[in-house]
Amino acid sequence: MAMLIGALGVVFGDIGTSPLYAIKVSLSGFASLGEAQILGVLSLLFWLLTLVVSIKYVVCIMQADNQGEGGVLALMQLAIAKLEGRQRWVYITLGLIGAALFYGDSVITPAISVMSAIEGLRIASDQLDAWVIPLSLLVLASLFAIQPYGTGTMGRLFGPIMLVWFLVIGLLGLWRTVQTPQILQALNPVWAIQFVSEAPLEVFLLLGAIVLSITGAETLYVDMGHFGRRAIRRVWFGLVMPCLVFAYFGQGALLLHDPSAIRNPFFLLAPNALLLPLLILATIAAIIASQAVIAGAFSITRQAVQLGYWPRMQIEHTSASTEGQIYLPRVNSLLFLAVMALVLGFGSSDSLAHAYGFAVTGTMLMTSLLAFRVLPLRSSGFKRLLWLVGLTLFLIIDVLLFSSNTMKITQGGWLPLGIAAVIFTLMINWSLGREKLHKALSDEHHSLAEFMQGLEDYPPLRVPGTAVFMSMIYGTVPPALLHNLKHNKILHEQVLFVTVETARGPYVPLHERYEVEQLNHSSWQVRATWGFKQEPNVPQMLQQLGQDMPAINLEPLHISYFMSRQTVLVVRKLPLFARLQRRIFAFMARNATRSTRFYKIPPNRVVEMGMQQEI
């Protein structure tokens, strides 16, 4: 029960606050609002919610988990597992585009959710308009300020509130539906089909607004690692979807009775006496909705760091028992600044609504394309055919939704597109720059086994203790060893070479974390592996290694860590575009978190050797 309540508080906030604005934006564009328009839009919305969220994500896509982890990058790792060359890079590109678009969603969701809730003040009095933006800024600042306490703490805090939220909007919608039961006709897909057939072009453009009802679907998949697939499925089908359907149908029933309620159909669901309590509850729910995508941004960023598509960043665990609950200070600060700028720049939720759907539908499209590579291969025969047919249907829907939202690029869709383009460029630059750096280092380095054997034949002065050299490339001589021998002319009694690598899966158990190869009687090389959802902890790994191999002296006070600190220099005689790429990589490398902090190495046991490397 605690897990279900926690999932309710963290995972469903985004999709749970869509009733605040989805119906208003979808129906406000009609010159005259009649039964055909209301029932047609509601029918489309209901079946979109059923097909995309319930069937595609909750039932199907969540089966494509990477050892329990979800999200477009986790899916990308499954897709490229056995691929090489150009085909591998095609799927990497799809995954990075999806991740970059998710950041656009993470910026817009807090702004539009909180502003939509606080705009309910206008129902009480037009004189309160001036307070909407200041209150929105205050609420959002408070939200980002509590992020260091972690998703687990906020799940326990927010879960009961979201339970009340869903019950309230569900009951209000049910109350209005009972008063106008003919709204239930919208459950019949014939209304949606008839609506499309009468005005296909208008409905195609309208999809860009109706998609606001499913904006939290990708977040369910991204946050799967926080609470698990079973908890998310139970909460969705048992509580969230029924309450959302009643909330949407209740607004439709209200509009059938009073079309003038289109100015804010959600808040007008409630009787006047309950308007203020509903406004307060909606504001709190909007804060929780923002939490869902912020937690997703933290998860996506950690995956990108571990997989080598983003520079090292400070990652703090906020739970002693749950691996996935983390906090990234730098991501939190950048999101905060971007969200504040959006609120001040756009000024209303209606303006932001035009920008919202592009990022969401783009990420959904990338997820569907990657799922084509993963899900059918897990089955055979008739079941594989069913997967292909189902995924084709989802892909058609995603293409329609995405292409509809491309029509809104000039109205605000340029914003998530611009954010995604910048982040995608940085990700690709970092990945390609790391490859070039590795190649440059590999070309200059010699075989580690041969080098250590040469030191056995002509030994330098040996000093007590164990030297641990962090090596970027397995099997090659690390620059720190060469600098140490050149300048200090000594070598420790025992020498360990450690190379940290990232596995394709999210988690690697402790007993599988390292492989050891002995080079000679006093030196060993270690290949240490962590999953892309784990943070490397080198001292912890060495402690386990010391227990398994007592011949190696790995007492913490007897260990000295030697690390190379590379300063990346850009070769000047390069074409302009190539030089620009390398300068971006060099800038990102300078601002990455120090490797000592990232690997949890005690700073008072570290000797750094500086070097310059041209690329």
Q: Tell me: the pLDDT tens digits for 33-65? A: 888 899 999 999 999 999 999 999 999 999 888
pLDDT-derived band at 324 (thresholds 50, 70, 90) equals low
What pLDDT shows up at residue 239?
Answer: 93
Distances (CA, A) of 231 to 3, 318, 338: 7, 20, 32
Better-scored residue on pLDDT, 608 or 321? 608
If one compares 511 and 528, the residue with the highest pLDDT of the two is: 528
Give the ranges where 2-84 is alpha helix by DSSP (H).
2-10, 13-16, 22-27, 35-48, 72-79
- Residue 475 pLDDT class (50, 70, 90 cuts): confident
| Angle in degrees, 0-180, between the axes of helices 200-210 and 189-198, rounded to the nearest 10 | 120
**139: nearest Cα among 115, 123, 156:** 115
Residue 533 has pLDDT above 70, yes or no: yes
Query: Predicted confidence band at 231 (pLDDT cuts at 50, 70, 90)?
Result: confident
Is residue 322's pLDDT more than 90?
no
- Residue 421 pLDDT: 92
pLDDT of residue 427: 92
CA distance 187 to 177: 13
pLDDT of residue 323: 56
pLDDT tens digit sequence for 486-499 = 888 889 999 999 99
The Cα 133–Cα 114 span in angstroms is: 10
What is the residue-averaged pLDDT of the chain?
A: 86
Q: Which residue has the higher pLDDT, 448 or 248?
A: 248
For residue 392, the model assigns a pLDDT of 94
| Domain 2-432 fold | Amino acid/polyamine transporter I (1.20.1740)
200 Cβ contact partners less than 8 Å away, ≥ 6 residues apart: none
The amino acid occupying position 245 is: V
Q: From the centroid of its chain, how far is CA 524?
A: 38
Beta strand 559-569 pairing with 461-470: parallel
**Burial of 345 from C-beta contacts in 10 A (0-12 / 13-18 / 19+):** exposed
Task: Identify the pLDDT of residue 156.
Answer: 67
Q: What is the mean pLDDT of residues 538-544?
A: 91
pLDDT at residue 348 in the model:
80
Residues of the chain with pLDDT > 90: what percent?
Answer: 31
Angle at Cα 452 formed by Cα 446 and Cα 457, nearest 5°?
120
pLDDT score of 154: 61
Question: Domain residues of the chain, as ranges?
Answer: 2-432, 445-614
Tokens of 422: 């910048």
pLDDT digit string, tens, across residues 370-397: 999 998 888 888 899 999 999 999 999 9
pLDDT reported for residue 8: 81
H or E segment to which residue 611 belongs: strand 606-614
3-state secondary structure of 91: helix
Instruction: Please give the average per-residue pLDDT across 283-297, as a whole number.
Output: 81
3-state secondary structure of 396: helix
For residues 25 and 263, what is the distance between their CA atoms, to the nearest angstrom? 10
Q: With bands split at pLDDT 50, 70 and 90, how would you rate the model's confidence at 170?
A: very high
